[in-house]
């Protein structure tokens, strides 16, 4: 609708009871398009006139009113430029020419465009860009494009990762992301898959909703082996696999072993004690040694179940044992050496309850 202000459009000093308007050609008094008016001696108001059906360009608007005794006023005319919106388009950065941009749906057909159009950034690189918009009126007349500088953010939606060798953009292992603008802050689970133990490089890159991948980032990782066994030896290395076995219970990249290493038969002096482990793929670690001083002792203190080392297996030992019951890796209470303080340990303890250490 086209809104115009009418000022003092009188109809021969009588009350004004009706009004009408026309475009370009006068159909005659009483035959034009009517509009409502109040019963006043003159009009000083804003009235809306529809330009529907008119082509783009200059048109003549005629307006007149009728008084209470049926007389029409003189016709007041005015030249108005009418822009009828029938389409719109937009483009990024470079103008492809009128009619060659990306079509956009209009939400209005008013002579002055105040509607909204949806603009897509798919395929547009993030950063400062120039957006051009123009509209089309009846008769396929295009407006001059309005160009505005716009910042296009990066909206991350997904990504991919790979180990060591780049399979090509888009061919890595994909992962999804919650939509995030510009700054990415999200944890992603990564599967090492068939990667062998040792040093490897993890690469990752993310893709925005505009479809393009960003920079590929690289990080160094060490993929550990699962330890499934081990051995120890004193002073001289008998060769991998030829030492005294260790009972490794839990498989993992580190282990804790419960059990005592005896020095029975050793003369007092300084010795070197070495330990090494073996992984599930049969690889032995380098032995790690520690210096041990063996001293002469003629006193034996404690025995299995004598947790307070007073020579007797009694209620105080039971209370200490129960305090660790059900726990893992408490070697001093793990009588069976299965890495867990459980019912098996309790049965052995109760079998020795009430006795004295030899």
Mean pLDDT of the chain: 80
Whether domain 227-294 has CATH 1.20.120: the reply is no
Crossing angle for the helix pair 315-323 and 343-352, to the nearest 10 degrees = 170
> Which pLDDT band holds residue 323 (cuts at 50, 70, 90)?
confident
CA dihedral 25, 30, 34, 37 (to 10 degrees): 130
Q: pLDDT at position 108, please?
A: 55
How far is the C-alpha of 66 from the C-alpha of 108, rounded, in Å?
33
Query: What pLDDT score was predicted for residue 234?
Result: 93
Q: How far is CA 276 from CA 143, 210, 237, 255, 257, in A?
A: 81, 53, 11, 11, 12
Q: What phi and psi values does residue 336 have, to the nearest 5 degrees? A: -80, -15
Q: Please report the sign of the dihedral spanned by the C-alpha atoms of residue 121, residue 125, residue 131, residue 136.
A: negative
State the pairing for strand pair 127-137/102-104. unpaired
Beta carbons within 10 angstroms of residue 222's beta carbon? 9
The more confidently predicted of residues 223 and 167 is 167
> pLDDT per residue over 91-148, tens digit each?
999 999 999 999 987 765 554 555 577 888 877 877 899 999 988 877 778 888 989 9
pLDDT for the residue numbered 3: 47
Q: Which fold has domain 299-358?
A: Type 1 dockerin domain (1.10.1330)
Q: Which CATH architecture has domain 2-82?
A: Sandwich (2.60)
Give yes or no for residue 173 having a pLDDT over 70.
Answer: yes
Six token digits for residue 125: 């690189």
């Amino acid at each position: 609708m086209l809104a115009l202000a009418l000022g003092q459009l009188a109809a021969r000093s009588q009350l004004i009871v009706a009004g009408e308007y026309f475009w370009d050609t006068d159909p005659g008094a009483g035959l034009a398009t009517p509009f409502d008016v109040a019963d006043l001696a003159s009009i000083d108001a804003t009235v809306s006139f529809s330009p529907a059906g008119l082509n783009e360009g200059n048109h003549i608007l005629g307006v007149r009113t009728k008084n209470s005794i049926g007389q029409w006023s003189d016709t007041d005319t005015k030249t108005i430029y009418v822009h009828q919106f029938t389409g719109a388009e937009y483009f990024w950065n470079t103008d492809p020419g009128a009619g060659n941009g990306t079509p956009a749906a209009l939400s209005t057909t008013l002579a002055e465009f105040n509607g909204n159009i949806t603009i897509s950034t798919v395929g547009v690189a993030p950063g400062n860009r120039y957006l051009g918009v123009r509209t089309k009126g009846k008769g396929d007349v295009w407006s001059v494009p309005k160009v505005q500088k716009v910042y296009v953010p990066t909206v991350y939606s997904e990504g991919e990762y790979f180990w060591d060798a780049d399979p090509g953009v888009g061919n890595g292992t994909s992962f999804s992301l919650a939509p995030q603008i510009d700054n990415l802050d999200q944890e992603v689970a990564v599967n090492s898959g068939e990667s062998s133990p040792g040093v490897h490089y993890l690469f990752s890159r993310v893709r925005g909703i505009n479809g393009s991948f960003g920079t590929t980032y690289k990080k160094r990782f060490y993929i550990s082996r699962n330890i499934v066994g081990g051995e120890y030896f004193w002073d001289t290395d008998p060769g991998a696999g030829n030492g005294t076995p260790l009972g490794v219970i839990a498989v993992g990249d580190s282990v804790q072993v419960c059990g005592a290493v005896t020095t029975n038969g050793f003369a007092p002096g300084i010795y070197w004690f070495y330990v090494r482990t073996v992984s599930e793929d049969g690889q032995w670690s380098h032995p790690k040694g520690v210096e041990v001083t063996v001293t002469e002792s003629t006193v034996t203190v404690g025995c299995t179940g004598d947790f307070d080392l007073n020579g007797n297996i009694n209620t105080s030992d039971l209370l200490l044992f129960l305090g660790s019951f059900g726990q893992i890796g408490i070697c001093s209470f793990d009588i069976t050496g299965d890495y867990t303080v459980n019912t098996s340990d309790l049965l052995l303890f109760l079998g020795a309850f009430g006795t004295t250490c030899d």
